[in-house]
Amino acid sequence: MSPHASEPSPAARLLRLDGLPGLAAAIALASLMMVVAGTGLLEARWRDRAFGWLAQHAPVAARGEVVVVGLHPEDLDAFQVPIALMHRQIATFLQALVIARPRAAGLDFTLPERSFDALSPGLDQTLAQALVAVRAGPPVVLGIGVRADGQPEAMQPLLEAISRGLRRAYLVVNPDADGMIRGFDEALGSQGERLPTLGGEVARAAGAAPRNGLIHYAHGDPVPVIPWRQLIAWVQSGNQDALRAALGGKVVLLGNLLPFDDQLQTPVPLAADGRFTGTSHGVLIHAQQVRNLLDDTLVRELPWPIAWLTLALLGLIGWRRSGGLAAAGMLGLSLAVLAGSVLLLRQSWAVPAVAWALAPLIGVAVRTGQETWAAAQERNRLRQHFSGLVSPGVLREIIAGRLDPQAGGGRREIAVLFSDIRGFTTLSETMAPEQVVELLNRYFGLMVSVIHRHGGTLDKFIGDGIMAVFGSPATGDDDADRAWAAARDMLAALKDFNTQQARLGGPVLQIGIGLHAGPAVTGFVGSATRYEYSAVGDTVNTASRIESLTKEAGYPLLVSEAARSRLAHPEGLEDLGPMAVRGRAAMRMFGYQPPGE
CB atoms inside a 10 Å sphere around CB 526: 11
Q: Compute the distance between CA of residue 384 and CA of residue 397 in angstroms, rounded to an integer.
A: 15
For 52-82, the pLDDT digits (tens) are: 999 999 999 999 899 999 999 999 999 999 9
Q: Compute the distance between CA of residue 291 and CA of residue 354 in angstroms, rounded to an integer.
A: 28
Nearest to 339 by CA among 57, 105, 532, 23: 57
Strand, coil or helix: what is 84? helix
CB atoms inside a 10 Å sphere around CB 479: 24
Q: Compute the distance between CA of residue 513 and CA of residue 418 in angstroms, rounded to an integer.
A: 6
The number of residues in the chain equals 597
Q: Compute the distance between CA of residue 304 and CA of residue 325 in angstroms, rounded to an integer.
A: 31
Give the model's pLDDT for residue 407.
Answer: 58
| 405: preceding bond cis by omega (within 30 degrees) | no
For 351-407, the pLDDT digits (tens) are: 999 989 988 888 888 888 877 887 777 777 766 655 555 556 566 666 565 555 555
Which amino acid makes up residue 590? F
Q: Compute the distance between CA of residue 174 and CA of residue 182 in angstroms, rounded to an integer.
A: 8
| CB-based contacts of 224, cutoff 8 Å, min separation 6 | 67, 68, 272
- Report the pLDDT averaged over residues 185-210: 90
Q: What is the CATH number of domain 392-592?
A: 3.30.70.1230
Which class for 147: exposed (0-12), middle (13-18), buried (19 or more C-beta within 10 A)? exposed
For 533-588, the pLDDT digits (tens) are: 889 999 999 999 999 999 999 999 999 999 999 999 999 999 999 999 998 889 99
Give the model's pLDDT for residue 277.
Answer: 83
Instruction: Name the pTM for this structure.
Output: 0.68
The 3-class secondary structure across 526-571, one letter per residue, is ECCCCEEEEEECHHHHHHHHHHCCHHHHCCCEEEEHHHHCCCCCCC
Cα 519 off chain centre by? 51
Q: What is the DSSP string of 46-67?
A: HHHHHHHHHHHHSPBPPSS-EE
